[in-house]
């Protein structure tokens, strides 16, 4: 490493070195400087994350006064201070990009920032001025800054960094993982404080002021402006210079606020508070408009803040005590509203003093509007009728005004509160009275009135009763006749005569009794009463025929009556009705005749359609074995009063054939009935409907037929009798009861038949115990596993169910299935489907049941199988966590359940990426987590495999430690294998592995050429002065006009051959040539680096002996740390002689 030693006269040193050929020349005092920053303006520095700043160029030298230690010069100064958070060693790598020579000195510790500032005048002089902790004046673009020694939390260290190369560059700070301490990133050396005011109101909003804001970073008190940020409100006004002030206007829906105060140097403080929530009372229960005849109701004030109590008042007044205030309730009684007081009233709530923060600011007022309306009656009365042009007064009930009372309708005149009605045209009219308008409830009422011309009218018959009548022969009918008028005005008919007469119809029917006809009955005279009605009777002549005689009965006014009433000749009112007269049965005789076994009864001279002989209900009767029969003759349809008994009743009849049907039986599955004849000769023939009958009368139903008849014929007398036969359908009972399927250990079940209406039969089959009353039991454990046929056999001779009847059913008995299954204890979420299989496959599955119906799998992420007894568990569907998977196996009565748990772990992601790294030394560390992607799972293990180049590699935690990197060929490559499991040690659960290549580029441009070259010697090859670590493949350039001059290949070839002739021509004898070796980056991870050395062009090719070199080295510093004096000899050093 090239080490710059403190010198005061770099020129004399150069000439001394030229004379004795010892060491290397330093060209520090050839740098160009400019004005720089001071110690008092030091900036805070936190190295917990990588920090970068732009190096100053031509900014001058550091101030005089401090002890700069190893720094021979202090160009382009940059002052920083670091505050200790966690005491311990702090190692920081400081690099310049692009590569340029930078140096530093570090002082401390100081107990505070103020103490450090006070030491600026003599920084590093010991005591209160601190000590030099670390220093580096080497010609390098990379610095190792080490904060060591005794320290406490809060101590301050001051660092000066200089840009010796005076080249534009970015200075990067990187804290190394070897550090055990940390720096404090909170630069608020003076805390920001403030005063929080009380909540106040502005309009309908709340405000709060935070004032007296002072403090912050060192340059902030007083100084630069503060920056404010508010949540929960907006900034109403602010003062940004110290002391600061902020007035916050809270949002409408916020009660809490927070203020963040930040100074210009990233010092930050939080202030917060809350204001009581605005409370806005309101009324509820308001309805309207409300009429005065409605029920009372209550209006309630809600949301009034406690303990404040405001006042409730009524505006503009409280008419008639309508409003009654009690606490927060106002009872409104509409019935108390005085007449004429209808309108809108306000129930007003006014907040009490002191409520400005809880209610709307500046005094809160709210109100409820209640509209009350007077209710008036709109009813009125008018006569039922009136004559044309006769006025009728219309009068309103008290209350409404002329504007509120409105009369309407044809013929109506509205006169304000009241009105009148009159019409010149007869008819029916509707009069409407409406009350409406401001302050009243709208209501309407109507009445009808009849306007008559008030003259006599032709009477009109209204009714004649009965409308239709029936009577027996020579019967009497009572009539009631009513008259009226077409327009409702009665004509005086009291005492007038009414004609009533009858004529047969339809042969003699008429349309008008006034035409004069030959009446069959009457006319008779009826007298009218005062209400226009007449009452009377007509007796009709005897009907000795065989048919009903129908009469038309008319009622009409006599011509004399019409004349007496002064009615026009066209007035010919009448009314008609119908009367039926039934024939007489008195004296009718009955004759008897026989046909086969039937006696026929007839009435001579009358058709059978008019008469009936009972009890047959027709014109014949089956006599059977009787010897006489009582006979009654009735006329069909006549009233019961018209019937009479025949004169020759009872009537004798002849004894005849009878037959009976026996009980229903069966034969070969068909129904049979035995028909037996009696009271006959004994010689019979049989015929049948609905089946067949044999010669002895045994009737057999056709298949599916259960209703028929058998006709028995007496072959001797010819008499016949028909015997109807019906039997209930054959009963085919079925076995009922629980039929399973059953489990082996299910309890005994009961069996029977339905319908159970026959004698006791027999049950049989595996596991069956027959019982009484057509019952049995079934025991699954006795029957055993399988499909069992159960048989019911009817008892012998059971004719009700057919011959030899048997029925069966099937009962299944299933085994007790094994529900156990095996399941892995854990899985990765990306494993997908996991098959679920029973340890023992179900056997003896009942008929009609599938395997998947026997086994039912369920749980998170579980899909039950279709057509099999298995299932599927999907890790993605279930998600991360512990899940229970269950299966029910068997039928409901013997269901067996088994459950297992499985834990699903997140997927592991071992993705790592290739990376190229630029290093500045052969040893160091590399953080392996920097290879991770954004989704890589941490916590895994690493292995390293060297691929190319040199170096020794070991892994410690997440760090790759490397030593002995090769720089002659700067590319050193290793392969990193990263393996991670979500569940560590679980045998590869969620295991993921990835590999990446890390390329370390280590460029070392150092070469160690002599301090001078003699013109008499051959052109020197500078590559001969490379050491074992010098990176090959770079190129040489040289400058003849100083270190800041132009470097090119005019004096030296790219390969490093110095042209001595060109060098002597350019600078002369004892001139200086500045040689630079540049190594370009190969991987792109590094910047181009270079090493510079100055040589003297001389003609003196000899070197004098050096005597007593030890005496001259007494005050020379150790080249290792640049400021520790050498105390042990011998030692090899490179020196600059004064």
pLDDT one-digit tens code per residue, 368-420: 888 888 888 889 999 888 888 889 999 988 888 888 899 999 999 998 889 99
Higher-pLDDT residue of 586 and 428 is 428
Tell me how far CA of residue 731 lies from CA of 297, 436, 703, 734, in angstroms.
Answer: 74, 82, 14, 10
Q: What is the pLDDT, as a whole number, of residue 1115? A: 40
pLDDT for the residue numbered 33: 27
Q: What is the Cα–Cα distance from 72 to 329, expressed in whole angstroms? A: 93
Residue from 818, 751, 817, 819 nearest 785 by CA: 817
pLDDT in tens, 1085-1118: 788 888 889 999 998 776 443 333 333 443 444 4
Short-list 462, 460, 463, 464, CA closest to 579: 464
C-alpha to C-alpha distance for 583 and 813, rounded to whole angstroms: 84
Which pLDDT does position 65 carry in this prediction? 92
Which two tokens mark 896? 């067996």
Domain-ending residue, one of 334, 353, 373: 373
Identify which of 144, 105, 148, 139 has the alpha carbon closest to the alpha carbon of residue 125.
105
CA 925 – CA 940 distance, rounded (Å): 18
Q: Return the higher-pLDDT residue of 266 and 946.
A: 946
Among the listed ranges 10-14, 337-341, 782-786, 940-944, which one has the minimum average pLDDT value?
A: 10-14
Instruction: Give dist(CA 398, CA 949) in Å, integer.
Output: 121
Is 26 among the domain residues? no
Q: Is residue 1059 pLDDT above 90, yes or no? A: yes
Domain shared by 947 and 1042, yes or no? no
Q: pLDDT-derived band of residue 1055, with 50, 70 and 90 as boundaries?
A: very high
Q: How confident is the model at residue 743 (pLDDT cuts 50, 70, 90)?
A: confident
DSSP string, 967-1019: -SS-EEEEEEEEEEESSTTSSSTTEEEEEEEEEEEE----B---SEEETTSPP
pLDDT at 53 over 60: yes
Check residues 803 and 966 and name the one with the higher pLDDT: 966
Give the pLDDT mean for 59-83: 92
Reported as a pLDDT band with limits 50, 70 and 90, residue 974 is very high
Most confident of 530-534, 1105-1109, 1128-1132: 530-534
CATH code, 206: 2.60.40
**Residue 1033 pLDDT > 50:** yes
Q: Is the same domain home to 477 and 541?
A: yes
Q: What is the pLDDT of residue 988?
A: 60
User: Residue 408's pLDDT is what?
Assistant: 92
Residues 613, 636, single domain; the answer is yes
SS3 132: strand
β pairing state of 549-557 and 533-539: unpaired
**Same domain for 48 and 161:** yes
Where residue 481 sits, what CATH number does that domain have? 2.60.40.10
Lowest mean pLDDT across 36-45, 568-577, 619-628:
619-628
Residue 536 within a domain = yes
When mean pLDDT is compared over 498-507, 688-697, 738-747, the highest value belongs to 688-697
More confident residue, 191 or 1049: 1049
pLDDT (average), residues 178-183 = 92
Mean pLDDT across the stretch 512-532?
84
Cis peptide before 337 (omega within 30 of 0): no
Q: Is 60 helix (H, G, I), strand (E, B) or coil?
A: coil
Asked whether residue 17 is assigned to any structural domain, the reply reads no
pLDDT average, residue stretch 1070-1090: 86
Q: Return the top range by mean pLDDT from 308-322, 647-661, 1099-1113.
A: 308-322
Q: Do both 263 and 326 map to the same domain? A: no
Indicate whether 486 pLDDT > 80. no
So what's the pLDDT on residue 806? Answer: 81
Q: Is 102 inside any structural domain? A: yes
Quick one: pLDDT at residue 421?
95
Average the pLDDT over 906-925 and give the result. Answer: 89
The answer to whether residues 36 and 166 belong to one domain is yes
**Residue 842, both tokens:** 């179900």
pLDDT computed for residue 247 by the predictor: 92
- The region of weakest confidence among 487-491, 624-628, 678-682 is 487-491
Which is more confident, 471 or 901?
Answer: 901
Which residue, of 323, 341, 373, is where some domain finishes?
373
Q: How confident is the model at residue 455 (pLDDT cuts 50, 70, 90)?
A: low
DSSP character for 514?
Answer: G
Confidence at residue 589, expressed as pLDDT on a 0 to 100 scale? 67
Token digits of residue 63: 């101030």
The pLDDT, as a whole number, for residue 1124 is 45
Contact 909, 894 (CB under 8 A): no
Using the predicted structure, report yes or no on whether residue 211 has a pLDDT greater than 80.
yes
Asked if residue 1116 is part of any domain, the answer here is no
- What does the radius of gyration of the chain's CA atoms come to, in whole angstroms? 66
Mean pLDDT along residues 734-754: 85
The residue among 4 and 382 whose pLDDT is bigger is 382
Asked if the structure places residue 1062 within a domain, the reply is: yes
Q: What is the pLDDT of residue 265?
A: 63
Is residue 16 predicted with pLDDT exceeding 50? no
105-160 tens-digit pLDDT: 999 999 988 899 899 999 999 998 999 999 999 989 999 999 998 999 989 999 99
Residue whose tokens read 């029936």: 470
CA distance 1005 to 1091: 5
CA 496 to chain centre: 91
Instruction: Return all residues near 508 (Cβ < 8 A) that are at least 6 apart.
Output: 517, 518, 520
pLDDT exceeds 90 at position 930: yes
State the average pLDDT for the chain. 80
Q: Which residues pair with 883 in a beta bridge?
A: 902
Domain count, the chain: 11
Q: 829 with 879: CB under 8 angstroms?
A: yes
Contact status, residue 288 vs residue 325, Cβ threshold 8 Å: no
Domain final position from 688, 723, 758: 723
Is residue 912 pLDDT above 90, yes or no?
A: yes
Burial of 1018 from C-beta contacts in 10 A (0-12 / 13-18 / 19+): exposed
User: Which pLDDT value is given to residue 67?
Assistant: 94
- What are the residues whose beta carbons fall under 8 Å from the beta carbon of 794, sequence distance 6 or more? 733, 758, 759, 761, 801, 802, 804, 805, 806
Within a domain: 626: yes
Q: Looking at 251-326, list the stretches that DSSP marks H as alpha helix, in order from N- to C-terminal side.
A: none
Residue 31 has a pLDDT of 28
Q: Do 264 and 296 belong to one domain?
A: no
Is the domain of 901 the same as that of 920? Answer: no
For 575-614, the pLDDT digits (tens) are 888 888 888 766 666 776 655 556 666 666 676 666 666 6
Q: What is the pLDDT of residue 136?
A: 94
Q: Which domain holds residue 409?
A: 385-452
Residue 102 sits in a domain whose CATH number is 2.60.120.380
The answer to whether residue 288 sits within a structural domain is yes
The partner residues of 208 in beta bridges, in order of sequence, read: 248
Which residues are CB-contacts of 606 (< 8 A; sequence separation ≥ 6)? 546, 583, 588
* Tokens 């042209």 found at: 1059
Counting beta carbons within 10 angstroms of the beta carbon of residue 1056, is it exposed (0 to 12), middle (13 to 18) or buried (19 or more)? buried
Model confidence at 26, in pLDDT bands (50, 70, 90)? very low
CA distance 405 to 401: 6
Rounded to an integer, the average pLDDT of 49-73 is: 90
Sort 964 into a burial class: Cβ within 10 Å, 0-12 / 13-18 / 19+. Answer: exposed
Which residues share a beta bridge with 290?
Answer: 372
Same domain, 177 and 94: yes
DSSP string for residues in 355-395 = -TTTSSTT--EEEEEEEEEB---------SEEETT--EEE-
Give the tens place of pLDDT for each residue, 346-367. Answer: 888 877 654 544 444 545 678 7
pLDDT at 29 over 60: no
Biggest CA-to-CA distance, the chain: 194
Let me know whether 247 and 315 are in one domain: no
Both 464 and 573 in a single domain? yes
Quick one: average pLDDT of 60-81?
A: 92
> Phi-psi category of 196—alpha, beta or left, where left has phi over 0 and alpha has psi -120 to 50?
beta
pLDDT(426) > 80: yes
Provide the pLDDT confidence category of residue 187 given band limits of 50, 70 and 90: low
**Banded pLDDT at 93 (limits 50, 70, 90):** very high
Range scoring the smallest mean pLDDT among 196-210, 547-561, 741-755, 1013-1027: 196-210
1129 vs 496, residue with greater confidence: 496
At 399 the pLDDT is 84
pLDDT for 176: 92
pLDDT at 993 over 70: yes
222-236, 774-788, 790-804: least confidently modelled range: 790-804
Asked if residue 163 and residue 114 are part of one domain, the reply reads: yes
Closest CA to 396 of 424, 431, 430, 437: 431
Rounded CA separation 430/411 (Å): 9
C-alpha separations of 511 from 100, 554, 777 in Å: 143, 10, 88
Q: Tell me what pLDDT residue 753 has.
A: 87
């Amino acid at each position: 490493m090239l080490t710059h030693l403190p010198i005061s006269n770099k020129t004399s040193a150069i000439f001394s070195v030229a004379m004795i050929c010892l060491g290397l020349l330093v060209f520090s005092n050839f740098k160009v400087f400019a004005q720089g920053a001071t110690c008092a303006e030091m900036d805070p520095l936190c190295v917990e994350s990588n920090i970068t700043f732009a190096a100053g160029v031509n900014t001058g030298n550091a101030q005089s006064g401090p002890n700069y230690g190893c720094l021979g010069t202090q160009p382009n100064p940059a002052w920083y201070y670091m505050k200790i958070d966690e005491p311990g060693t702090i190692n920081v790598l400081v690099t310049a990009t692009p590569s340029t020579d930078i140096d530093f000195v570090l002082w401390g510790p100081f107990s505070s920032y103020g103490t450090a500032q006070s030491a600026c005048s003599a920084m590093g002089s010991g005591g209160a001025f601190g000590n030099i902790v670390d220093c580096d004046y080497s010609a390098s673009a990379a610095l190792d800054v080490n904060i060591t020694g005794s320290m406490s939390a809060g101590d301050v260290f001051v660092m000066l960094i200089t840009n010796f190369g005076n080249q534009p560059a970015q200075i990067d700070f990187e804290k190394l993982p070897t550090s055990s301490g940390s720096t404090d990133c909170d630069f608020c050396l003076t805390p920001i404080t403030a005063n929080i005011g009380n909540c106040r109101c502005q309009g309908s909003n709340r405000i709060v002021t935070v004032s007296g804001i002072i403090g912050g970073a060192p340059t902030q008190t007083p100084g630069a402006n503060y920056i404010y940020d508010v949540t929960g409100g907006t900034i109403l006004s602010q003062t940004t210079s110290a002391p600061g002030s902020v007035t916050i206007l809270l949002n409408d829906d916020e009660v809490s606020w927070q203020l963040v105060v930040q100074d210009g140097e990233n010092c930050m403080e939080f202030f917060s508070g809350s204001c009581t929530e605005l409370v806005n009372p309101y009324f509820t229960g308001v309805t309207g408009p409300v009429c005065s005849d409605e029920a009372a109701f209550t209006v309630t004030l809600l949301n009034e803040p406690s303990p404040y109590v405001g006042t409730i008042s009524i505006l503009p007044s409280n008419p008639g005590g309508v409003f009654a205030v009690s606490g927060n309730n106002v009872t409104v009684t509409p019935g108390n509203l005085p007449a004429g007081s209808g309108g809108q009233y306000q129930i007003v709530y006014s907040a009490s003093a002191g409520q400005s923060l809880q209610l709307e600011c500046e005094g809160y007022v709210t109100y409820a509007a209640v509209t009350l309306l007077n209710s008036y009656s709109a009813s009125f009365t008018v006569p039922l009728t009136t004559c044309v042009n006769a006025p009728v007064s219309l009068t309103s009930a008290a209350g409404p005004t002329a504007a509120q009372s409105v009369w309407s309708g044809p013929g109506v005149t509205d006169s304000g509160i009241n009105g009148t009605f009159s019409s010149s045209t007869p008819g029916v009219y509707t009069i409407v009275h409406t009350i409406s308008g401001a302050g009243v409830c709208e209501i309407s009422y109507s009445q009808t009135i009849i306007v008559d011309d008030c003259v006599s009218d032709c009477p009109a018959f209204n009714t004649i009763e009965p409308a239709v009548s029936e009577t027996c022969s020579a019967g009497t009918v009572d009539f009631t006749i009513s008259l009226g008028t077409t327009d409702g005005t009665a004509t005086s008919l009291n005492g007038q005569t009414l004609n009533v007469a009858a004529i047969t119809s339809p042969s003699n029917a008429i349309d008008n009794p006034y035409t004069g006809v030959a009446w069959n009955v009457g006319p008779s005279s009826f007298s009218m009463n005062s209400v226009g009605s007449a009452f009377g009777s007509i007796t009709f002549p005897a009907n000795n025929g065989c048919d009903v005689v129908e009469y038309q009965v008319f009622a009409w006014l006599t011509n004399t009556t019409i004349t007496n009433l002064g009615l026009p000749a066209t007035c010919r009112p009448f009314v008609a009705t119908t009367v039926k007269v039934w024939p007489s049965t008195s004296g009718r005789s009955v004759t008897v005749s026989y046909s086969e076994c039937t006696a026929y009864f007839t009435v001579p001279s009358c058709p059978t359609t008019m008469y009936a002989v009972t009890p047959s209900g027709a014109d014949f009767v089956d006599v059977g074995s009787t010897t006489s029969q009582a006979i009654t003759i009735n006329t069909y349809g006549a009233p019961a009063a018209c019937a009479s008994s025949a004169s020759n009743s009872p009537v004798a009849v002849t004894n005849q054939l009878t037959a009976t049907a026996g009980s229903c039986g069966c034969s070969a599955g068909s129904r049979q009935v035995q028909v037996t004849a009696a009271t006959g000769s004994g010689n019979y023939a049989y015929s049948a409907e609905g089946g067949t009958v044999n010669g002895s009368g045994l009737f057999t139903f056709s298949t599916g037929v259960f209703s028929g008849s058998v006709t028995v014929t007496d072959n001797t007398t010819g008499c016949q009798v028909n015997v109807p036969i019906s039997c209930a359908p054959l009963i085919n009972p079925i076995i009922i009861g629980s039929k399973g399927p059953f489990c082996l250990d299910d309890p005994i079940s009961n069996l029977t038949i339905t319908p159970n209406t026959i004698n006791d039969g027999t049950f049989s089959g595996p596991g069956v115990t027959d019982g009484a009353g057509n019952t049995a039991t079934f025991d699954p454990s006795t029957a055993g596993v399988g499909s069992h046929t159960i048989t019911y056999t009817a008892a012998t001779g059971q004719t009700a169910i057919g011959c030899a009847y048997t029925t069966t059913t099937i009962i299944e008995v299933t085994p007790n299935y094994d529900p156990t299954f095996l399941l892995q204890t854990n899985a990765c979420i990306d494993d997908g489907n996991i098959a679920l299989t029973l340890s023992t496959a179900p056997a003896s599955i009942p008929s009609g049941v599938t395997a998947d119906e026997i086994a039912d799998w369920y749980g998170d992420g579980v899909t039950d199988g279709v057509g099999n007894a298995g299932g599927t568990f999907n890790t993605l569907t279930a998600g991360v966590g512990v899940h229970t998977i269950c299966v029910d196996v068997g039928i409901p009565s013997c269901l067996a359940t088994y459950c297992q748990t499985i834990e699903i772990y997140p997927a592991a992601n071992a993705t790592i990426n290739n990376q190229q790294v630029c290093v500045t030394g052969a040893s160091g560390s590399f953080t392996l987590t920097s290879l991770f992607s954004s989704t890589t799972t941490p916590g895994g293990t690493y292995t390293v495999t060297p691929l190319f180049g040199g170096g020794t590699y070991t892994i410690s935690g997440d760090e790759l430690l490397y030593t002995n990197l090769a720089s002659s060929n700067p590319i050193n490559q290793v392969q990193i294998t990263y393996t991670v499991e979500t569940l560590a040690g679980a045998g590869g659960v969620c295991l993921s592995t990835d590999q990446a290549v890390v390329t370390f580029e280590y460029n070392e441009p150092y070469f160690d050429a002599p301090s001078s070259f003699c013109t008499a010697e051959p052109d020197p090859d500078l590559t001969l002065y490379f050491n074992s670590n010098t990176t090959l493949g770079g190129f040489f350039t040289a400058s003849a006009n100083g270190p800041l001059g132009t470097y090119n290949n005019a004096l030296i070839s790219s390969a490093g051959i110095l042209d001595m002739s060109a060098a002597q021509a350019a600078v002369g004898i004892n001139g200086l040539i500045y040689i630079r070796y540049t190594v370009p980056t190969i991987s792109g991870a590094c910047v181009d680096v270079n090493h510079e050395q100055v040589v003297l062009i001389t003609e003196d090719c000899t070197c004098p002996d050096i005597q007593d070199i030890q005496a001259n080295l007494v005050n020379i510093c150790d080249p290792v740390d640049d400021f520790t004096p050498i105390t042990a000899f011998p030692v090899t050093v490179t020196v600059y002689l004064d």
